[in-house]
A and B are shown apart, each in its own frame.
Chain A
Amino acid sequence: MGQSVATWRRWAWLTGLLVVPLVILAVLVNLTGDISWIQRASSALILMIIVVGLHTFSGNSGVISFASVAFAMIAAYTSALLTIPVEQKPSLFPDLPFFLDWLTTVSLPVPLGILIAVAFTGLIALIVGIPLVRLSGLAAGIGTLAFLVVVTVIVTKWKAVTRGESTMVGVPKETTLWWAVAGIAIAIAIAALYQMTRRGRRLIASREDDKAAMSIGISIPIERLWGWTLGCAIAGLGGALYGHYIATFSATTFGFALTFFTVAMLVIGGLGSLTGAVVGVLVVQILAEFLRTLETQGLGPIPMLEFPGLTEMVLALIMLLVLILRPAGLTGGREITTWFRRRKSAPSDQSVSA
């Protein structure tokens, strides 16, 4: 796209500063050889992909979206349908509609299934995005929330294709820690590139001042549509990887609870920066694991606190405290590359208006 050398250098710095620590973390966790730690790290990294996807749209455009989990769900089901072994398909999906009959004879290798699922998710995002990105503020919140409800209802009720309320089983379980690391590296690299190149800068400009942006000829719906489609496809990558990671899932796996967590992680990290997305997921996941350990087995001198819901309750309380004490999030919406630089001008802390 004819970017300047300086842009590429900044891109490499941002991607590197975010990805390298994650890779080191993954290697260290792998060295411990503790299977439960490896599992926790994998699911945290996969979740991070979804949050990076959410950031790509909401962080850059300043428009809230509750739909990224819906796209993760679409991708997880698509990849599952494409990769479940042929032998299992007739018993799992006895009454597929005629236009999906071909699925019974298809069983793709998992990476190909994920790739197609991401492309399909992007296509759906593009189609529903054309009307949805015209909304902003609370209407956008409601519109995307309504879309999440629609997808959830279809997945729960369209038994012939999604197995309805029964869980999806027989999905090849192939996602490992290294797949998750590769996934998050790709997601961060793409998200960083997007927000540094022309298209992304235009979207950020529309977030900072929509009238000024329009006055220099930026078409806000078109820029939002780009960010939306890319962000939803990234969320789809996370969803597809997650499907092949847990191998059995249903619509409730991708429900309101996950939506709440992903949006909260992004806001706690600091809306408006990619660093915020990464930091938010890390902090919340570490806290959640700590609390969960406390709830299920106790920790050192602290006895086991056996109350279902305690983890989520304390987590919500901590989120409240962060929001009250640091409304701009832990990173204040600044990228890691600017952390060590002197502030030349006030950072765009509260740049997102809903």
Chain B
Amino acid sequence: MYLQYIIDSIGTGSLYALMTLGLALVFSVMGLMNFAYGQLVMIGGFAMILLRSQPWWVLILGTVVAVVVVSLLMERLAFRPVRTATAMTMLITSFALAQFLQQAARVAFGANPRPLEQFSELSVQYVVGDLYISRMTLITVSTTVIAAVALALLLKRTNIGIQLRASTEDVEMSKLVGIKSNRVIASAFVISGVLAAIVAMLFFSTRTNVSWSSGESIVLIAFVGAVIGGLGSMVGAALGGFLMGFTYTMLNALLPLELRVFADAILYTIVIVVLLIRPAGLVAAKGVRV
């Protein structure tokens, strides 16, 4: 019984961890908490609707390309001009950008949620003893692990990854040694876009529709997960996101029925308590100012 809850919670936790990684990466490079990140996932959802009838590889590729293009445009048109402004101005800029993308989607796709035809091949359930494991849970967990490992390798081993990490440590110094910050930041947005597209595919595969407001709750989770996990630390971000998803699913399963409706309130109260005990997050990165 409890094991079943834990399996389900691990599934949600992995998805949330993946959401948090994309947000945390951009933050660690340029100190921007990108509120518009959730809208990238929403755009990925609409791309899936438009490409639903195509072969699966076109669907995946098309969704990734669409989200990455929007992510790059975001960086070029909105965030590059305010890069030197205060963190507050950057935060509000991403707020305004999120609102813009959300309302643009409402104008383009209508105010009502658009139905997304289910992927029946993903809802297969495996039975192990008295436990049920859905194929989707397996796919989510393994995709998260693969994406996290790929991200770690990218950051540790490749040239662009090393430049990214150098910029995370000290932007001014990395400029002095010849790292082009425009290119590095743009590549962070590309990676963040790819992650958002993967999140969109995993998230909307279990939903029946996509709405212009779908991105809101996602960015809230990622935002909170990144901060309680520890800003500037990728491991911390993934851990924070995972714990958010894990705790939320567990609360929903274990709380008595009359308190279950308050699961969100309890979760966010826990968040406030964690912030008070560890303002720099669970895994505090070196030299990050909060």
Contact = CB atoms under 8 A, between A and B. Distances in A.
Contact of A309 (B85, B106, B224): B106
Interface in B223-263: 223-224, 227-228, 231, 261-262
Contacts of B262: 153-154, 157
Interface stretch (B40-48, B86-94, B184-192): B86-94
B122 interface: no
A271 interface: yes
A143 B85 CA distance: 23
Contacts of B85: 323, 327, 350
Given A134-B276, A150-B269, A154-B262, A352 B103 contact: no
A267 interface: yes
Nearest to A66: B95
Interface size class of B (residues with CB under 8 A): 35 or more
Given A309-B111, A313-B104, A142 B224 contact: yes
B216 A320 contact: no
A85 to B, nearest CB: 29
A308 B85 CA distance: 33
A62 B87 CA distance: 11
A138 B96 contact: no
A147 B272 contact: yes
A327 B265 CA distance: 34
Given A136-B290, A139-B279, A146-B271, A316 B99 contact: yes
A60 B97 CA distance: 26
B73 interface: no
B99 A143 contact: no
Given A137-B289, A153-B264, A310-B107, A142 B92 contact: no
A64 B91 contact: yes
Give the interface SS of chain A, mostly helix, strand, loop or mixed. Answer: helix
B107 A260 contact: no
A62 B86 CA distance: 11
Given A137-B289, A352-B88, A324 B82 contact: yes
A310 B87 CA distance: 29
Given A308-B107, A313-B104, A264 B96 contact: yes
A313 B275 contact: no
B78 interface: yes
A135 B110 CA distance: 40
A354 B224 CA distance: 16
A219 interface: no
Contact of A135 (B97, B104, B279): B279
Contacts of B87: 137-138, 353-354
Interface string A306-326: 011110110111011001100
Contacts of B89: 267, 323, 327, 350
A226 to B, nearest CB: 20
Given A135-B276, A354-B91, A317 B100 contact: yes
Contact of A145 (B96, B99, B220, B276): B220
Interface string B131-146: 0000000000000000
A256 interface: yes
Interface in A298-312: 307-310, 312
A149 B93 CA distance: 22
Contact of B212 (A137, A149, A309, A350): A309
Contact of A316 (B103, B110, B279): B103
A225 B184 CA distance: 41
Contacts of A307: 107
Interface in A133-179: 134-139, 141-143, 145-147, 149-150, 153-154, 157
B268 interface: yes
Contacts of B110: 308
Contacts of B290: 136-139
B100 A316 contact: yes
Contacts of B264: 149-150, 153
B257 to A, nearest CB: 12
Nearest to A256: B216
Given A309-B104, A324-B93, A354-B88, 4 more contacts: A62-B88, A143-B275, A267-B88, A353-B88
Interface of B: 33, 78, 81-82, 85-89, 91-93, 95-97, 99-100, 103-104, 106-107, 110-111, 212, 216, 220, 223-224, 227-228, 231, 261-262, 264-265, 268-269, 271-272, 275-276, 279-280, 289-290
Q: What 4 pairs between A and B have smallest CB-CB spacing? A: A309-B106, A313-B103, A316-B100, A354-B88
12 contacts: A139-B279, A139-B280, A142-B228, A143-B271, A146-B269, A149-B268, A153-B261, A260-B99, A316-B103, A320-B100, A352-B86, A353-B86
